[in-house]
Amino acid sequence: MLNSIKRKVYALYSDLVCVVERWKHKKNLPILEESDRIIVQTLKRDGVCVTTLADLGLNSTSEMLKAAYHQLSQMEKANNDHLNEKWPQIYTLTDFPEISAWATETRLLNIIENYIGLPVTFHGVHLRKDFPSEHQFGTLLWHSDAEDRRIIKIFLSLKDATEKTGPFEYIPRSLTSLLRWQYYWLYYKLWQGSYMGIDDEIVKKVIPKSAWKTCKGPAGTVILADTKNVLHHGTVRTEERVTLFFCYTANPPERPELCTQYWDDTYPKPEFSSSPDLVQTHS
């Protein structure tokens, strides 16, 4: 009991320190163009902003896509036809310079820093295939991520995101703010399930399905999401979904041990020889 109290007190103190650091860093935040300020404002309001590669217009997009689709073509066929629950197939592509160059473009990092409010770091990128499923499990359950107090994950669709491919779905922050009882009910349910996720039927009890936001769009759709502060999931699908997942947090994050999966050997890495300084940070 005493240790539990100590942990909670330390967590509150740590959160307070973070608030102070964010306030002190405010004067150092990069200046944004109007279109980029709109992205940050949308993130602050809803927790998610949906755009496209074309609208972002980053200079390295073409080379990034070439590298991503090449690696997609090299992925081994998953041997999972016999499984009832087909878990995602994930490759770590963080060491590929064309992909990390896009992820660390100054303009993109500036947008993310303005949202997080502190110097940020890019942890890495996963190439991910999600397979058809008849029921919810894993990240198909509603959940929030835990790497940091604020997280930006960018989900880039490499094929059309339709109802059949199980697109990203979320609940706008305004519906689960700290001032609303639904927040405490939903996170109590998450706690009851050891934060492994809750299903649609539980969420429907307090947030109607009509309020859920589904992010469909053609290949090249870009979703920026604060996956810590927005309840989200992938939806049940009848066709394969193919996505790049990019992960950013404050530098350092609250829980760095949860970020190592983006560059260590948790998932297979395609054969590639590169210098470790290709993975850049922004501070």
- Domains delineated in the chain: 31-278 (2.60.120.620)
Say whether pLDDT at 283 is over 70: no
Q: Which H or E element spans position 21?
A: helix 2-25
Residue with tokens 């935040």: 29
Q: With a threshold of 0.95, does the pTM exceed it?
A: no
Q: What is the mean pLDDT of the chain?
A: 94
- pLDDT (average), residues 114-134: 98
* Cβ partners under 8 Å of residue 160, min gap 6: 217, 218, 219
- pLDDT (average), residues 39-55: 98
Phi, psi of 202 (to 5 degrees): -70, -45
What's at 213, amino acid-wise?
A: K
Token digits of residue 18:
């973070």
Phi, psi of 222 (to 5 degrees): -120, 125
Q: What is the pLDDT of residues 207-245, one digit of tens each?
A: 999 999 999 999 999 999 999 999 999 999 999 999 999
Q: What is the pLDDT of residues 133-177, one digit of tens each?
A: 999 999 999 999 999 999 999 999 999 999 999 999 999 999 999
Instruction: Please give the pLDDT value at position 179.
Output: 93
Count of Cβ atoms closer than 10 Å to residue 79 Cβ: 8
Instruction: Please give the pLDDT value at position 4.
Output: 65
The model's confidence at residue 276, banded by pLDDT at 50, 70 and 90, is very low
Helices (H), ranges, 162-255: 181-192, 200-204
Say whether pLDDT at 277 is over 70: no
Token digits of residue 143:
């959940």
Count of Cβ atoms closer than 10 Å to residue 143 Cβ: 18
